Structure formats: structure tokens, C-alpha cells
Amino acid sequence: MNNPLFLLYGVLLLGATGYLEYTGKSFDRINQQRVLPKSIRDNPGAYRSTYGGYSRYIGGK
Amino acid sequence: MSTTLVSQSLVKAKSLSCPNCGTPIELRGFAHTLSAVCPSCLSILDASNPELQILQTYQGKERIEPKIPLGSRGTFNGTVYELIGFEQRSVQTPDDYFSWDEYLLFNPYKGFRYISEYCGHWNVIRVQSRVPYPTTARGRRGWVLDARKFAAFDAMQAATSYVIGEFPWQVRLGETAACEDFIAPPYMLSSETTAGETTWSLGEYWEGSKIWQAFRLPGKPPSPQGIFANQVSPYAGKTGAAWRMWLWFNVALFTLMTIFNLTKANKEVFHDEYSYAYFKNHDTSFVTPAFQLDGVNKNVEVRFHADIRNDWIYLSMALINDETGQTFDFAREVSYYVDSDGSEGSRDNRVVIPSVPAGRYYLRIEPEMVTGALSTRYEISVRRDVPIYSYFWIAAALLLIPPIVTWFRSNQFEARRWRESDYRPVDSPVMKIAGGIIESLGDD
């Protein structure tokens, strides 16, 4: 094996890919809140989403 | 008498005197020596007869000290040779001047070897009795010797500019020869033509440290400058090896992807259709029925599809654990625009929530569209434990880096090698433009 650095790099890369896939990690933007009152189920309008004021695309072709 | 240029001889030598200055001269090449240089006055003497007639007197003022002293003994391929002669050869053109050193080695049983040195690059050379046969190499003239194909590298008119020691030919200062070099690293095939006679020699590139080791010289050899014609590329064979390794890693990556694809549950746990219509000051948020998520800390994929055209819908969402109140808050926009020039965006979008504990969950959805939007149908589906293929594509892309870097470096090395030849590569138009930009920036 005349390229041990590439071997190490490839093994680490495959290991990282396997780890991310196994644990189901995601780079998506998710905000996690721990405690939410059960009343939300009956009154969904009382909930204020973190992304409620998210600037969205309103342009177009 | 001896000078600092000459170390103590270890071979029984024939002693004579210089007819010019009377300095004793020791000949180590026996009957092979046809000319010798007085170490004191540097006169070139005819050693083919005992009278030592003066062939040429040295008019220069500069004395050059060989990097390896005359009389040094070195072992090459198990044979001990003694260094008996040194010459410096030079090339003078209207644009350029350069020189290199040549050392003559002698063994009474094996004959002569040569060592050349240029800017810290060394070659161990043997004169060839065989004649190579012509071929084409790298699209130009070349020769084949020992089944190796040698490509033309450069041609020059070389002159002998300094000599000391003894030589098996009638050496003269200013004597010129037409030289041509052909390379197949680490070998260099050279032809030298004088008065219609051509001599072929085969050189092998040696690291300076190996030369120093062969002669058991103290200290370190001079550091090599630049890249020499037949210097072995440090990337030789590595580009192919890197691509082969890349291929094996891709096989492993594909296998890994297949295993995850087969073992992931990838189960749809919720799917429903909704419609949105704009009503002023109307709360659009609602919750879905609860659904079960099994498995320990697996991911959850939420997919959206909206029947829109030249429009957008924005979905603020929360995945809420019905029992603990744990909430994963996220939002996605689905926008799709189309006209005669083509389309932009997509009617679909997705989000993957990592590490969601098992339990009963529901979604809180708050859709939003442009003011006055008509009724729009959209679908939401939830899947548990989905494979994420993007990791594999990213890994496959990252795996390309080492072989591409190796290939690029190898090409750079070869470009630097051939830049010193008579066949310097032509810069690509892109490189010319880049060079022009850099030059103009420099002018400013």
C-alpha cells in the first residue's frame, strides 16, 4: 500500500458515512423544544413556531 | 607534491613528472590513460608515451575543486572504483550558459564509469557498446535500449571547460561535442558525436546521498535544485495506485449503501392530503392524528407535495410527542414556477429529523400562502428510519480529492521536468489568460 494517508482518509470517510447513516443524523435545520403543554393539541393556534417569521421566497420567474 | 584537489591514492600508481613544472604525476589508469593533467600547473600532457609531452597549457586563472576529491574510492554495484579524472563541461548559447561536472572512475578489471553532476543531481553512467534502435516516444524521436523507450529531451553543443586528473582519451580544453539526451526515468541515454563518431552512454539517476554513501564522503551532498531530466517523479505509479484505491473505496461505499438500504425500515407511518385557502385573519394551523414511531432514536422524514404552479406554499411544522411534549420544530417552502424558458423550484420538498425517540407523535401544521391564494391541495407523509443517500454522494465526491490531487501534482512535476527540455509544453489558453491577468495586475 503506497498511499497510507489516502487509506486512512478513505477509512475515516467510510466510517463517518456509516456512523451518520446508522445514527440517522441530518444537517436539516431543526429546532428542538423539550416541554410543550398538552393544550397545543386542542389549541394549535397557541403555538408559536420558531420558523413562523422565516423569510420565504416570494419572487418567481 | 599533491594539491587539495587530490586525495591519497589507494591504487599502486605509475609516477612521472610534469615537463612544464616538474611536479610528480601519478597515473592510476595504467595503459588506459592517454592524457593526464598536471595537478599543479594544470597542463594537459600526452600520457601515451613516457616523455609526457605537453598537449595544452592551462591559461585560465580559476581552479575548480571537484565535489568528490580525485583518488576517492567508491563502491558501485559491489565493485570498487577509483576517481581518476574530473572535467567540467559547459554550454554557451546567445541566451544561456550552464555547465555540469563529470567524474571519471576506473577499476582495473571492470574499466571505466562516469558520474555526472548538475545542480545537485547525480547520474552514474556507463558507456554502451550496444547501439540502440530508433523509435518514436512521446510523439517525437526516441531510441530503444534494453526494452526501454527513451524520449528525446534536449540537444546541445557541449565544450570541455576544465579538466584535472587523467583520461583514456586525448582530452583538450575547448573541445566540443554534439550531445543529445533521451530519457526514460530513472535512466538517460546520451549520444555524443565528435568528428563523425558517436558514443552512446546510459546514465542512471542517483540521489546525492547515495553517491556520498558510495564514496563514504563526510558531510552532506549539495541539495538538488529544480527537477532533473531523468529524476524519478515522487508520484511515479502513485496516480494509478490512487485511482485503484479510489475504485475499491467506491465499491466499499456502494456496499455500505446497499446494506443500509436493505436494513433501514423506511416505513411510512403517516400520510394525508389537505387543502389551503386564504381567509383574512383566519388561523390556518391544525394538528394531525397521532401516529406511532417505533425503533430507538431513528430518524424521521417528512415529505411535502403541493399542487402549485407559479406559486409557493410555506409550511411551519412541529413534530410533537403526544406523551412527553417533546417538540421538533421545522419549516419548509414548496415553490414552483414555470414559463416558456423552463421551470424553477419543485412541487416537492422534504426534511429529515434526526434521532427521534420512539413514541406517539402528531404534527402541528401551519400553512401560509400569498394573500388571496385560491384553494391549494397539498400532501404530507411521514416515514420512519429512512436512508440518507446524500451522505454517500458527498463521501463519493470527497473520495475523489486524493487521486485528483495526486494526478495534478504528478502532472505538475512532469510539466516542470519538460519545461527544462527542448520540448517544453505549451501553456493552455486558460493558463495564458491567467498568466496575462496576473501580469497586468503586476503592472498596476
Is residue A53 less than 8 Å (CB to CB) from chain B?
A: no
For the ranges B10-19, B38-47, B209-218, B277-286, the lowest mean pLDDT is seen at B10-19
Output the pLDDT for position A4. 87
At B94, the pLDDT band (50, 70, 90 cuts) reads: confident
**B52-66, B79-93, B379-393: least confident range:** B52-66
Could you tell me the pLDDT band of residue B99, with boundaries at 50, 70 and 90? very high
Cβ burial, residue B353 (10 Å; 0-12/13-18/19+)? buried
Beta strands in B340-414 (DSSP E): 342-346, 348-356, 359-368, 376-384
Mutate to test the interface with B, among A7, A8, A56, A58 (most CBs of B within 10 A): A56
Cα(first)–Cα(last) distance of chain B, in Å?
63
Q: Do A36 and B245 touch (CB under 8 A)?
A: no
Chain-wide mean pLDDT for chain B?
86
B77 vs B116, more confident: B116
Residue-level pLDDT at B8: 47
Does the CB of A12 have a partner CB in chain B at under 8 Å?
no
At A22, give phi and psi (nearest 5°). -65, -40
Partners of B204 in the β-ladder: B124, B187
User: Which pLDDT band, with edges at 50, 70 and 90, does A51 fall under?
Assistant: low
**Cβ distance B377 to B272 under 8 Å?**
no
| B331 neighbors A54 (Cβ within 8 angstroms) | yes
Helical packing angle, A4-23 and B401-419, nearest 10°: 150
- Phi, psi (degrees; rounded to nearest 5) at B99: -145, 160
Specify the pLDDT at position B236: 85
Q: How far apart are CA B300 and CA B286, in angstroms?
A: 20
pLDDT of residue A57: 52
Count of CA atoms in the C-beta half-sphere (13 A) of B308: 32
Nearest to B285 among A23, A28, A47 (CB): A47
B331 part of contact set with chain A, CB < 8 Å: yes
Buried residues in B296-311 as b, exposed as e (16+ CB within 10 A): eebbbbbbbbbebeeb
Q: What percent of chain B has pLDDT over 70?
A: 91
More confident residue, B169 or B300: B300
How would residue B420 be classed by pLDDT, with cut points 50, 70 and 90? confident
C-alpha cell at B400: 475523489
Q: Determine the average pLDDT of the residues in B369-380.
A: 83
> Smallest Cα–Cα separation from B262: which of B350, B358, B385?
B385
Is A22 in contact with B386 (CB distance < 8 Å)? no
Compute the distance between CA of residue B398 and CA of residue B183 in angstroms, rounded to an integer: 36
The residue in chain B having the minimum alpha-carbon distance to the alpha carbon of residue A30 is B330
Contact at CB, A60 and B312, closer than 8 angstroms: yes
**Between B53 and B1, whose confidence is greater?**
B53
DSSP B420: T
The answer to whether the CB of B389 falls within 8 A of the CB of B197 is: no
* C-beta separation of B313 from B334 below 8 A: yes
Nearest to A2 among B241, B298, B326 (CB): B241
Average confidence (pLDDT) over B353-372? 88
- Residues B399/B129, Cβ–Cβ less than 8 Å: no
Q: What is the pLDDT of residue B3?
A: 40
The pLDDT assigned to B426 comes to 67
Q: Which of A23, A36, A55, A58 to mutate to test the interface with B (most CBs of B within 10 A)?
A: A36
Q: Provide the whole-model pTM.
A: 0.73
Is the Cβ pair A30, B328 closer than 8 Å?
A: yes
SS (H, E, C) B184-247: ECCEEEEEEEECCEEEEEEEEEECHHHHHHHHCCCCCCCCCCCCCCCCCCCCCCHHHHHHHHHH
Q: Which residue has the higher pLDDT, B302 or A50?
A: B302
**Encoded amino acid at B187, one letter:** Y
SS3 label, residue B360: strand
Greater pLDDT, B140 or B270 = B270
Q: Give me the mean pLDDT over the B63-92 stretch.
A: 92
Instruction: Give yes or no for residue B297 having a pLDDT over 70.
Output: yes
A53 → chain B, closest CA residue? B316
Q: How confident is the model at residue B100 (pLDDT cuts 50, 70, 90)?
A: very high
Report cis status (omega within 30 of 0) of the bond before B186: yes
ipTM of the complex: 0.75
Task: Say what the pLDDT of residue A10 is.
Answer: 94
pLDDT classification of A56: cutoffs 50, 70, 90: low
HSE of B282, CA atoms in CB hemisphere, 13 A: 12
Question: How many Cβ atoms sit within 10 Å of the Cβ of residue B438?
Answer: 9
Please give the distance of CA B359 from its chain centroid, rounded to a whole number: 56
Q: What is the mean pLDDT of residues B123-149?
A: 90
CA angle B225, B227, B230 (to 5 degrees): 130
Average pLDDT over residues B313-340: 90
Q: What is the DSSP letter of B441?
A: H
- pLDDT of B382 over the 60 cut: yes
> Which tens digit of pLDDT belongs to each residue from B7-20?
444 444 566 788 87
pLDDT digits (tens, 9 = 90+) for B219-232: 999 999 999 999 99
Length of chain A: 61
